[in-house]
């Protein structure tokens, strides 16, 4: 072969390689679009199913009816988990699987999981317990959603493969490794040592009889292990047939200061007690909601009616544009996928004509890359379907004005009333008030040196604790400050920082 022939052959191969790459990229793009549409079509009705079920449970006092409605919600979440598993597998196959690090409360996560697992275990005739070995950090830096996904999956598996037994989730901080260690133990059917290597493969279980008897897609452990390796280490398992199994996950908690640790069960339970009994906030303000699905529109209407806020509803982006131009709103919620004009086009048009109030995207796609894209193109925040009640109410609280204080007082729960009169809680509240001096000093230093990262960290800590200890206004302002700093709006953040500093200084004196 001559030199010219060789060069021509190389060019042909390069062309074929380029063509193949383009075809692969196109196939992946089509693959991603298919799954995005699938997520939207399935998560939209699941939003209504789960949302209405949870709302009925929250407002009903008939235990017989509550148990039936909880079954509806539980099965809705099961379908959601199956869908999320398929979506995660798609991301792993197309190398789009990633983690979203944030600072969050460890004990809030643990109590969320405990609530879910207690119900599941009870339905299966099992016992579930959460055991914490202290000290534990109050907050960690990890991917909350994916860590919860791992733990819920492992605990659910333990419940599924145990009959009339005990499941325990143990949590400790391994100072020697700088890892949070989660251990899930059951006394169920166990796994033969010859089958242990198979359980972390996709679509595989210990043996074919497992799927026939217990169900499942065979994706949960595979996806959980992929997540675990991103968060710290692979999942370890020990098991004996007929005796049970132990799964261990170690997670890197990020930077932890010594002052962040909780040292007792009492402190852990007490700091979570009030916030755990979340009530809808009482708010003043007007909201424009663009949602084409009638069931989800009714759900949003029901949830908003509990807050006292005024709401206007439209069914497509074009109507939303017209309403936003003609009227003033304190907040706009836009479903991303709508007929006539979609949410992204509607938001863009609103910004073009000078609409300046916050616009929030409502989407079935919870992938971080897509959520970040929505924030980059002009949305102020993003909320995912199915809509989580607490996250939804937090969003409203950060965007709207609180109603007059007498309305807040009228809505106080029996648990909150009991805690206010509890001497131990009063002692904790006074202790927290003393710490406000420490927060005020650090906040003032951060403000004077334009240390925005430190300011955001302080705002996050106050947001998560102030309301629980009887300082709701500090918590509300801290949440608003954190939100502005997250989206890099420093001009809007500075007045909030000044107000927060004034409140902390006033309360400590």
Tell whether 243 and 131 lie within a shared domain.
yes
Give the pLDDT of residue 276. 41
Tell whether 392 and 295 lie within a shared domain.
yes
Instruction: Give the residue numbers spanning the domain of 43.
Output: 22-93
The CATH number covering residue 134 comes to 3.30.565.10
The CATH number covering residue 425 comes to 1.20.120
**Under 8 Å between Cβ of 299 and 55:** yes
Give the pLDDT of residue 93. 61
Tell whether 117 and 249 lie within a shared domain.
yes
Kindly report the number of other CB atoms within 10 A of residue 251's CB atom: 23
pTM exceeding the 0.75 threshold for the entire prediction? no
Three-state SS string over 312-353 comes to EEECCHHHHHHHHHHCCCCEEEEECCCCCCCHHHHHHHHHHC
Give the pLDDT of residue 72. 75
Give the pLDDT of residue 92. 62
Tell whether 176 and 251 lie within a shared domain.
yes
Q: Is 4 exposed, middle or buried (0-12, 13-18, 19+ CB in 10 A)?
A: exposed
Residue 12 inside a domain? The answer is no
Q: What are phi and psi of 409, to 5 degrees?
A: -65, -40
Sign of CA dihedral 395, 401, 407, 409: positive
Tell whether 167 and 309 lie within a shared domain.
no
Q: pLDDT in tens for each of the 509 residues of the chain?
A: 555 555 565 555 555 555 544 544 544 444 455 555 555 566 667 777 777 777 776 666 666 677 777 777 766 766 776 667 666 666 666 566 677 888 998 988 998 888 888 888 988 899 999 998 888 998 999 999 889 989 999 999 999 889 999 999 999 999 889 999 999 999 998 988 877 777 777 655 545 455 444 445 557 788 888 888 888 888 999 999 999 999 999 999 998 887 678 876 655 554 544 444 456 788 889 999 999 888 778 888 888 888 889 999 999 999 999 999 999 999 999 999 888 999 999 999 999 999 988 999 998 777 777 888 999 998 999 998 878 787 888 889 888 887 765 344 444 444 444 445 555 556 666 767 777 888 888 889 889 998 888 888 888 778 766 765 667 788 888 888 888 888 788 888 898 999 899 888 876 54
Tell which of 35, 70, 93 closes a domain: 93
Cα distances (angstroms) measured from residue 145 to each of 137, 402, 443: 18, 29, 29
Tell which of 276, 296, 329 closes a domain: 276
Tell whether 378 and 469 lie within a shared domain.
no
Tell whether 129 and 244 lie within a shared domain.
yes
């Amino acid at each position: 072969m001559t030199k010219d022939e060789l060069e021509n052959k190389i060019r042909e191969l390069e062309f074929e390689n380029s063509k193949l790459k383009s075809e692969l990229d196109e196939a992946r793009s089509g693959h991603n679009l298919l799954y995005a549409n699938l997520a939207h079509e399935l998560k939209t009705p699941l939003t209504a199913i789960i949302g209405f079920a949870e709302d009925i449970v929250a407002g009903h006092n008939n235990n017989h009816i509550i148990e039936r409605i909880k079954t509806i919600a539980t099965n809705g979440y099961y379908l959601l988990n199956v869908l999320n598993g398929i979506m995660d597998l798609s991301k792993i196959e197309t190398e789009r699987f990633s983690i979203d690090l944030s600072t969050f409360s460890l004990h809030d996560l643990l109590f969320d999981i405990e609530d879910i697992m207690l119900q599941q275990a009870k339905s299966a005739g099992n016992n579930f317990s959460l055991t914490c070995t202290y000290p534990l950090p109050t907050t960690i830096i990890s991917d909350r959603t994916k860590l919860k996904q791992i733990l819920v999956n492992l605990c659910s598996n333990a419940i599924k493969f145990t009959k009339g037994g005990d499941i325990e989730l143990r949590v400790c901080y391994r100072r020697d490794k700088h890892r949070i260690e989660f251990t899930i133990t059951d006394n169920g059917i166990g796994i033969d040592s010859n089958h242990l290597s198979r359980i972390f493969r996709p679509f595989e279980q210990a043996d074919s009889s497992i799927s026939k008897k217990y169900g499942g897609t065979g994706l949960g452990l595979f996806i959980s292990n992929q997540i675990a390796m991103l968060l710290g280490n692979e999942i370890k398992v020990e098991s004996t047939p007929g005796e049970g199994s132990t799964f261990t996950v170690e997670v890197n908690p990020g930077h932890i200061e010594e002052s962040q640790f909780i040292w007792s069960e009492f402190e852990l339970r007490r700091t979570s007690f009030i916030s755990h009994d979340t009530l809808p906030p009482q708010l003043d303000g007007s909201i424009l909601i663009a949602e084409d699905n009638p069931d989800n529109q009714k759900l949003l209407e029901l949830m908003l009616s509990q807050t006292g806020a005024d709401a206007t509803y439209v069914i497509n982006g074009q109507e939303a544009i017209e309403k936003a131009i003609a009227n003033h709103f304190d907040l706009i919620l836009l479903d991303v996928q709508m007929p006539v004009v979609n949410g992204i086009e509607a938001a863009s048009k609103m910004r073009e004509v000078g609409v300046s109030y916050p616009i929030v995207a409502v989407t079935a796609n919870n992938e971080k890359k897509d959520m970040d894209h929505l924030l980059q193109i002009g949305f102020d925040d993003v909320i995912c379907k199915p809509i989580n009640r607490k996250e939804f109410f937090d969003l409203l609280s950060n965007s709207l004005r609180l109603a007059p204080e007498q309305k807040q007082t009228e809505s106080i729960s029996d648990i909150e009333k009991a805690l206010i009169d509890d001497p131990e809680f009063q002692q904790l509240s006074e202790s927290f008030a003393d710490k406000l001096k420490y927060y005020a000093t650090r906040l003032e230093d951060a403000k004077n040196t334009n240390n925005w990262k430190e300011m955001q960290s302080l705002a996050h800590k106050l947001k998560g604790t102030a309301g629980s200890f009887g300082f709701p206004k500090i918590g509300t302002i801290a949440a608003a400050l954190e939100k502005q700093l997250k989206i890099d709006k420093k001009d809007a953040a500075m007045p909030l920082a000044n107000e927060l500093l004034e409140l902390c200084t006033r309360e400590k004196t």
